[in-house]
Every structure is written in structure tokens, then in C-alpha cells.
Amino acid sequence: MDKYIDLYLDYLVYQRNYSDLTILNYKEDLLFFKDYVEKQKVSFLDIDYSFIRKFYNYMDEQKFSKNTISRKISSIRSFYKYLARNDHIKFNPFSLTKGPKKDKLLPKFLYYNELEELFDACDLEEFFGVRDRLLLEILYATGMRVGELEMVKVKDINLYDNSIKVLGKGNKERIVYFGDYAREILDMYLDLRDDNCEYLLINNKKERLTARGMRYILDKIVKKACLNTKVSPHMLRHSFATHLLNEGCDLLSVQELLGHESLRATQVYTHVTNDRLKDVYLKSHPRGNVKVGNDDEI
């Protein structure tokens, strides 16, 4: 089974252009399934629906959350779809199964004052402090995934209209934009660079800064800023989308900027903004917040 897993992961890397983190999640899920299959002493090429039900029960016994079970099933189903498409098996046994309904978890985002604390924690008196600030500015300004930012090259940046060409999931290109704050730091960063690396963000070896490296840097910035919250790079993407919607940007534009194939993936952010929309309505509508029976109104 190891050989087939390696072939599938190579397919995800070289043909689907999935990020390092996504590949790591797929690998973890498939190795977990492989371990279970081997314990049951059956061939992974010969499993049937009853075996899958036992696997479900096993994950329940392990106290996995619905979201975790759903993710693992999705990873394994995609793996078997790949096997069937390449004639390693005749039928995908997972094609008729569905994972449990996911718990609805709203995306976590940062308030603007929290973002300011992160920005201010970067030392602009030294090169890597400028790089760290640019990392934050670009992620928040564009809504890019860290895996996408990792692959951005200097030549992908259009300084005439403050845009960046991004290669997203499935090798799909899109254009994202950044504002004056990010442009100011970008100009400062490019002026300070003295290397020939084609990628925008570099590490201390003057090589491409990886997504893992970006997460490590963000952890250090959060610690330096003394924020009492766990911050991931994806929270900057969530903050980008949430703040755009809060300021009146339409959902389809946010979908395009995020690179979502389905509007459903973008709609989750509307739940985050509902409370604020209610406040705006009550404060703005002429008949939104009048107390019936108020003596002053009689």
C-alpha cells in the first residue's frame, strides 16, 4: 500500500499543486487507514462496504470529532478514486459512503487592533523584520494561502497596479491586489534585498521561505506581540474576507479574491458578519430601533 500512497501523494503535488500542509494531512489520513487495514489483516484492494462501516465504528471509538472523521473519509475516498481511475481497482468502495455531517465551525479572525499589534511587533530597522512585516501585510492584504505565497516570485508582482499573479489550487491562476500599506513595505523589502532568489520571500539562507517557515515566523511575532490568542496564517485569510464583507464588499468579489471554486465556501463568512449587519441595520434603518410605547413618541 505504501507504493500506491506515494504515487497518489506525488499526483497531488505535481498535478494538483496542493500545499505542503494539505499533502501532510492527506498522508496522515492515509497512513492512519493503512495501519487499520493491516491490523485487520485484509488487502486494501479488496475492502467492501461492511469493512468501511467497521472503520467508521473504530474512529468513533477513538473519540474523533465529526469534522476529523469527515476529513479522513474524504481523503481516503479521493485516494480510492485515484486508484480506480488508474485501473488499480475496479470499483471505488468509498464512492457510496458519506462522512458524518460536519459541525458548523465559524472561521476565526483577528480584529483590526490585534492586527496592528502584530504589525507593530516587527522591527523595521533590520531586514528580516521588514520581511516578517511584509509576510503579514501580504497575507492580510490579499487573502492568499501560505502555500500560495510560498510560490510567489518577484516577477509575479505588477508594481504598476499593485497586483500579484497567484497560482492556486488545481493550478488555477488568479489576480489579487494589495494596498498602500503593503506597497510601502514591499518597496522597502525589495530595496534591501541583495540576493538572486526568484521567490519573493526568502529565509536566512537566501532561499525560498516555505509555508512551514512562515508559520514559525508568525508564532514568533505573536509571542513578541503578547497576543492572548492562538494565531495561524489562515486567520489572516479569514480576517481579510471578514473585514471586506464588513465594509460592504459583495460576496462574489470576495469569492474571486479568495480563489474559491464554490460560493458555498465563501458564504461561511456571512455568518461571521451577521451580528455586525444587525447592529448596522438597527442603527441605520429609520424604523429599526424605535421603542414602541415611548412617551416621547406619543
CA 117 to CA 218: how far, in whole Å? 12
Q: In a 10 Å sphere around its CB, with 0-12 CB exposed, 13-18 middle and 19+ buried, how is residue 67 labelled? A: middle
Residue range 223-236: average pLDDT?
Answer: 85
Backbone angles phi, psi at 139, to 5 degrees: -60, -45
Give kind and range of the element (H or E) at residue 175: strand 173-177
- pLDDT (0 to 100) of residue 105: 62
Residue range 127-139: average pLDDT?
Answer: 95
With cut-offs at 50, 70 and 90, classify the pLDDT of residue 295: very low
Lowest mean pLDDT among 100-104, 218-222, 264-268, 289-293: 289-293
pLDDT at 190 over 60: yes
- pLDDT (0 to 100) of residue 269: 72
Domain range annotation of the chain: 2-85, 112-282
Please give the positions annotated as active site.
145, 169, 234, 237, 260, 269
- pLDDT (0 to 100) of residue 164: 94
Average pLDDT, the chain: 84
Strands 157-158 and 173-177: unpaired
Cell of 26: 492527506
Higher-scoring residue by pLDDT: 152, 243 = 152
pLDDT at 237 over 70: yes
CA 162 to CA 157: how far, in whole Å? 7
pLDDT at 293 over 80: no
Residue range 185-207: average pLDDT?
Answer: 94
CA angle 69, 10, 198 (to 5 degrees): 115
| Whether the predicted model's global pTM rises above the 0.85 cut | no
pLDDT at 272 over 60: no
CA 143 to CA 112: how far, in whole Å? 15
Domain spanning 112-282: CATH 1.10.443.10: yes
Residue range 252-278: average pLDDT?
Answer: 73
With cut-offs at 50, 70 and 90, classify the pLDDT of residue 273: low
Architecture of domain 2-85: Orthogonal Bundle (1.10)
pLDDT at 89 over 70: yes
pLDDT at 150 over 70: yes
pLDDT at 278 over 50: yes
| 97-116 confidence digits (pLDDT tens) | 776 666 566 678 888 888 89
